[in-house]
Amino acid sequence: MTNYKTAIVTGAGTGIGKAVATALLRSGWNTVFCGRRKPVLNKAIADAGSTQAKALAVACDISKADQVDEMFETVAAAFGRVDLLFNNAGTSYKSTLIDEIPVEVWNEVVGVNLTGSFLCARAAFGAMRRQQPMGGRIINNGSVSAYAPRPGSVPYTATKHAITGLTKTLALDGRPYDIACGQIDIGNALTDMAQAMTVGVPQANGSIAAEAVMDAQQVANAVVHMASLPLDANVLFMTVMATKMPYVGRG
């Protein structure tokens, strides 16, 4: 047990999740690195280097309710409370028209992006409502696709629009319990998942074009800022994007 605040980051083994979890840890948050692959999580923690705050790797498939509940029990035993959840874990699928998307792909994307976010938010909300002192913050990873879809992205875009509804409702329902909820919408952060952006991806006009990208560290900095606010202040929505990427009109 320490006096540090405790954060949980899903999808923390790689990409944006790793960058955010590392930044929180280095900023003094006890940080739970959550993901499906324990060795990848352990490496992410090792890469973060020596810190005064504590890091904990917890393997969890967030689309499974029993695993999510078990993870939160593990965090409660280790740190006593949950002050921050960054609902980050997500998956996508190649650009495909709806009639060629396998149903199992739809179920997988919904299971991770939407159901997983619901399950983690559900557990975090319950913990934050009952702990003393009461309260905490939930930050959902939306996307520019929560506002403007890419071509051929029905499963991903549908889930990201749904995340916006989750964010708004949690922001409302959390008020009596000092639970703040916000959303960060990220555009073209350079991770392994976004590597294709630098080569060429489908555009709204039917062409294939490379797009501008930004360093994922800028996302981490933004999340740390959102997390650092007192609970009587909230960034409800923030868009952090590569300045020159297609967004407005996707042109």
Q: Sort residue 250 into left (φ over 0), alpha (ψ -120 to 50) or beta.
A: left
Residue among 231, 250, 240, 239 at smallest CA distance from 134: 231
Burial class from Cβ neighbours inside 10 Å (0-12, 13-18, 19+) for residue 212 reads middle
Are 139 and 87 within 8 A, CB to CB?
yes
Residue among 96, 26, 90 at smallest CA distance from 55: 26
d(CA 134, CA 95): 43
Q: Pick the catalytic residue from 4, 93, 147, 156.
A: 156
Helical segments of the chain, H only:
15-26, 38-48, 65-79, 103-109, 116-130, 154-173, 216-228
109 by DSSP, 3-state: which? helix
Are 17 and 215 within 8 A, CB to CB?
no
d(CA 103, CA 19): 32
Residue showing tokens 């954060």: 7
d(CA 119, CA 60): 12
Q: Is 93 known to be catalytic?
A: no
Catalytic residues: 156
